[in-house]
Structure 1
Amino acid sequence: MPPSRQTRTAPSPTVPPRTGQARKVTLRDVADRAAVSISTASLVFSGKGPVAPETAARVRDAAGELGYAGPDPLAASLRQGKARSVAVIVEDRLIHAFRDPFALAVLDGVAQELDAMGTSMLLVADHGDGRRGALESHAVDAAIFPLCGRSDSPLTDHLVARGLPIVGTGAPSHDSVVHVVVDERGASAQATRHLVDLGHTRLAHVAMPLTAEAQNSGTTRRVEISALDSAAYADARERAHGFLEVAASGSPLVEAHRADVTEGEKAGLLLLDAPPEQRPTGIVAQSDLLAAGVIRAAEALGLRVPEDLSVTGFDAVDLPWLDRELTTIVQPGEAKGRLLGDLTRRILSGEQPGDAAFPVTLRVGDTTAPPPTG
Structure 2
Amino acid sequence: MASPGQAGTPRGQRRQQRPTLRDVATGAGVSVSTASLVFSGKGPVAAATAERVRAVASEIGFAGPNPLASSLRQGRAGVVGVVVEGRVRIAFRDPFAISVLDGLAEELDAIPTGLLLLGQPANDEENLLPLIAGLALDAVVFSLCGPESSPLVDHLSARGIPMFGTGVPDDKRVTQVRIDERAAGAEIARHVKRLGHRRVAHVAMSLTARSVAGPVTPEDLRGDTYLSSRDRLDGFRDVFGARAEVVQTGDGSSVEGGIVAGRALLDRPAGDRPTAVVAQSDVIAAGVVIAAEELGLRVPDDLSVTGFDGLDLPWLPHRLTTMDQHGQDKGRILGTLVRRTLGGQRPRGVIQPVHLREGTTTAPPR
Q: Which residue in 2 is equivalent to 1:255?
A: 248
Residue pair 2:77, 2:138 contacting (<8 A) in 1 also: yes
* Residue from 338, 350, 355 that aligns with 2:349: 355
Shift of 1:317: 2.4
Q: Which residue in 2 is equivalent to 1:34?
A: 28
User: TM-score, normalising length from structure 1?
Assistant: 0.88
CA RMSD in angstroms comes to 2.0
In the alignment, structure 1 residue 333 sits paired with structure 2 residue 327: yes
In the TM superposition, what whole-angstrom CA distance separates every residue of 1:20-57 from its partner, at most 9, and x where no partner exists? 33332221222234332211111222233222344334
Shift of 1:316: 2.2
| Structure with the larger helix share | 1
In the TM superposition, what whole-angstrom CA distance separates every residue of 1:63-109 from its partner, at most 9, and x where no partner exists? 33433222111111222332222221112211222211111222222
Residue pair 2:148, 2:227 contacting (<8 A) in 1 also: yes
In the alignment, structure 1 residue 298 sits paired with structure 2 residue 295: no
Matches within 5 A, 1:165-244: 165-214=162-211, 219-224=212-217, 227-230=220-223, 232-244=225-237
User: TM-score, normalising length from structure 2?
Assistant: 0.90
Shift of 1:163: 2.0
Q: Which residue in 2 is equivalent to 1:142?
A: 139
Residue pair 2:148, 2:224 contacting (<8 A) in 1 also: no
Aligned partner letter, 1:41: A
In the alignment, structure 1 residue 103 sits paired with structure 2 residue 97: yes
In the TM superposition, what whole-angstrom CA distance separates every residue of 1:279-318 from its partner, at most 9, and x where no partner exists? 1111110011110110111112111000000001111223
In the TM superposition, what whole-angstrom CA distance separates every residue of 1:304-344 from its partner, at most 9, and x where no partner exists? 00000000111122322212211112223222122212211
Q: Distance in 2 between matches of 1:226 and 1:192?
A: 24
| Partner secondary structure for residue 62 of structure 1 | helix
Q: Distance in 2 between matches of 1:225 and 1:284?
A: 20
Q: Distance in 1 between matches of 2:322 and 2:51?
A: 54
Shift of 1:249: 5.3
- Structure 2 unpaired stretches of 5+: 1-11
Deviates more, 1:45-54 or 1:92-101: 45-54
| Partner secondary structure for residue 23 of structure 1 | coil
Q: Which residue in 2 is equivalent to 1:130?
A: 126
| Partner secondary structure for residue 56 of structure 2 | helix
Q: Distance in 2 between matches of 1:370 and 1:153?
A: 43
Q: Which residue in 2 is equivalent to 1:15?
A: none
| Partner secondary structure for residue 205 of structure 1 | strand
Q: Which residue in 2 is equivalent to 1:10?
A: none
Shift of 1:170: 0.5
Q: Which residue in 2 is equivalent to 1:319?
A: 313
- Percent of pairs identical after alignment? 53
Residue pair 2:85, 2:120 contacting (<8 A) in 1 also: yes
Shift of 1:139: 1.7
Q: Distance in 1 between matches of 2:67 and 2:329?
A: 30
Question: How many pairs align?
Answer: 351
Aligned partner letter, 2:24: V
Residue pair 1:146, 1:337 contacting (<8 A) in 2 also: no
In the TM superposition, what whole-angstrom CA distance separates every residue of 1:140-177 from its partner, at most 9, and x where no partner exists? 12211012211111211111222211111100011111
Q: Distance in 2 between matches of 1:170 and 1:53?
A: 51
Q: Distance in 1 between matches of 2:61 and 2:102?
A: 33
Q: Distance in 2 between matches of 1:173 and 1:53?
A: 54
Residue pair 2:262, 2:291 contacting (<8 A) in 1 also: yes
Q: Distance in 2 between matches of 1:117 and 1:69?
A: 23
Q: Which residue in 2 is equivalent to 1:81?
A: 75
Residue pair 2:149, 2:224 contacting (<8 A) in 1 also: no
Aligned partner letter, 1:277: G
Residue pair 1:203, 1:252 contacting (<8 A) in 2 also: yes
Cα pair distance change 1:260/1:237, threshold 3 Å? same
Matches within 5 A, 1:39-50: 39-50=33-44
Q: Distance in 2 between matches of 1:172 and 1:343?
A: 17
Q: Which residue in 1 is equivalent to 2:271?
A: 277
